[in-house]
Amino acid sequence: MIRQEEAILKHDEVQPMIAPDEHTSVETIARRAYRELRAALMGGEFLPATTLTLRALADRLGTSIMPIREAVSRLAAEHALELRPNRAIRVPELSRVEIDHLWQIRLLIESEAAGLAATTASPEHIRALSAVCETMWQAYRANDVRAMVAGTGQWTMLLADASGSAPFIDYISNLRLRCAPLIARALEGIGPEEPFFAFSLRLQDQIVDALQSRNAARARDLRLADVRSFQDFVYRRLGWS
């Protein structure tokens, strides 16, 4: 996670993530650039108010400016980035009211998606969710905070995918994308001894059990509690009441 409020990435500070060759189209490179930048945002690599440039991002991904411009435009359309008048790119610094509204929507959508998943999830989905839970427990026992956080994101999107609903999946993905920089700020300096991790993992285990038993109401209620407790945890870490 980037710790400064604003950062201009330098070419010699990062390794290229995309290595296009002469047979790779600009459109293909733009799609790859979009995926890489979106993953970086989702992974908490950019905090709110981080400022970037097209050139710095092109250097980071080892490509030209044109596909980066297209990728940034897509992310701006998703409200994950802001295009500034001076050609800079900025990670949005959302107001408290905006953050509250995003979390309220997450509570509604993610709980309903979990309830739907209890009726539609395939055995493969349930096994995958259970496997990720076990991986996160292993990371917790190994005091690996980064792996726990990454596993939580993977588990969340697996649960959304288990709903079988493209609208739910898209909305949940976009909401997570927009909340990710703030969550990254909240998790700065956190230690593995944080008791919330074990509490959240137990809730996720129970959600998997609810899916296995096809109990939609229980899955919905548990996911609502899971998202709400995570909101409380993030807000507490930020010093918000």
* Per-residue model confidence as pLDDT tens digits over 136-157: 999 999 999 889 989 999 999 9
Which CATH number is 96-238 given? 1.20.120.530
How far is the CA of 160 from the CAs of 28, 34, 120, 153, in angstroms? 27, 21, 11, 11
Q: Is residue 21 exposed (0-12), middle (13-18) or buried (19+ Cβ within 10 Å)?
A: exposed
The per-residue pLDDT for 131 is 97
Q: Is the dihedral of CA 111, 177, 101, 152 positive or negative?
A: positive
Per-residue pLDDT of the chain (241 residues; tens, 9 = 90+): 433 333 323 322 333 344 444 445 666 888 999 999 999 999 999 999 999 999 999 998 888 899 999 999 999 999 999 998 877 899 999 999 999 999 999 999 999 999 999 999 999 999 999 999 999 999 999 999 889 989 999 999 999 999 999 999 999 999 999 999 999 999 998 887 788 999 999 999 999 999 999 999 999 999 999 999 999 999 999 999 7
Residue with tokens 């296009």: 20
CB of 207 closer than 8 Å to CB of 226: yes
The per-residue pLDDT for 27 is 66
- Name the residue ranges covered by the structural domains of the chain: 11-90, 96-238
Residue 236: half-sphere exposure toward Cβ, Cα within 13 Å: 9
CA angle 136, 182, 148 (to 5 degrees): 5
d(CA 161, CA 184): 24
For the chain, give the number of residues. 241
| Encoded tokens for 23 | 């047979």
Residue with tokens 């539609």: 120
Question: Which among 86, 15, 71, 10 has a CA at the least distance from the CA of 41?
Answer: 71
Model confidence, pTM: 0.84
CB of 30 closer than 8 Å to CB of 67: yes
Q: How many C-beta atoms surround the C-beta of residue 213 within 10 A?
A: 11
| The one-letter amino acid at 71 | A
The per-residue pLDDT for 175 is 96
Please, where are the H alpha helices in 25-165? Answer: 26-42, 54-61, 65-77, 96-120, 123-141, 145-162
Topology agreement, domain 11-90 and domain 96-238: no
Average per-residue pLDDT in the chain?
88
Domain at 11-90, CATH class: mainly alpha
